[in-house]
Amino acid sequence: MAKKLKEWFDRDCALRIGAAIEPNYDNFDTEKYADEVDEGVNGLELKDRVYLMAKALRDQLPDDYSKAGEVLEYSLGSPLETEEGMFIKGYWLMPIARLVEEFGLENFDISMRLNEKITMRHTSEYSVRPYIERDTAKALQYMNNWAQSQNVHVRRLAVEGGRPRLPWAKQLNTFINNPEPMLKLIEPLKEDTSKYVRKSIANLINDVSKDHPDRIRQLAEDWKNVDSSSTCWILKHGMRTLNR
């Protein structure tokens, strides 16, 4: 029987994290970390397991967040070479992303850099959202830069992280109330070569359509003359709720 998703976040996962961190931080005690995780995760569901692993990890890293961030960045491993793999090859980085989400908010720039690096290997679509809430204008500066990245995972993060109604995440009321910053962000991506990015754009458009249907109809009108099968695909999937 296949393991449930939550069961991947266990002692073995902790050992893998520790093996990645120890070469970059001599004071890290992998066995202690694995023991703490092993003793704590029983009976916990996925989010609580990942939080426990993130908290135990933060407790062992340098108190200075800038130094902790440096250790983490050096420990992430090689970026994914394909669009796939964030939850298969990169699943073990979920507690590191959760650490950034929960414990890095007072160090905005360091954490946003980590979000960019993590998403090349796993995903930061959840960990970036508290930063959008904390300082939307500053976060958008990063996100607009990410939208121009050569890395497909970073371009996707620029969109997915800003989805107003991302499933299993806290809603971003700032973009529910005013989606214009995100609609401006996706404009240059409407002919993106990656279906991975286009799917994220379509899902964002679908999110916005639930609160601003007329604005999405206007977007479709604005884009209808774009001679691109990619753009047509985005609109078809992005307007799926409106066209029911």
Q: Which two tokens stand for residue 110?
A: 């360091």
Residues 11-20 pLDDT 10s: 999 999 999 9
Write out residues in the chain with pLDDT < 70, as ranges.
Answer: 1
Amino acid at 197: V
Q: Is 142 left (phi over 0), alpha (psi -120 to 50) or beta?
A: alpha
Q: Which two tokens stand for residue 33?
A: 């970390």
Q: Which two tokens stand for residue 82?
A: 């394909």
* φ and ψ at residue 177, rounded to 5 degrees: -75, -40
In whole angstroms, what is the distance from residue 151 CA to residue 203 CA?
20
pLDDT at 244: 82
Decide if 82 contacts 35 (C-beta within 8 A): no
**175: buried, middle or exposed (CB in 10 Å: 19+, 13-18, 0-12)?**
buried
pLDDT at 1: 57
Contacts (Cβ under 8 Å, ≥6 apart) of 231:
190, 191, 223
- Find, among 153, 167, 148, the residue nearest to 79 by Cα: 153
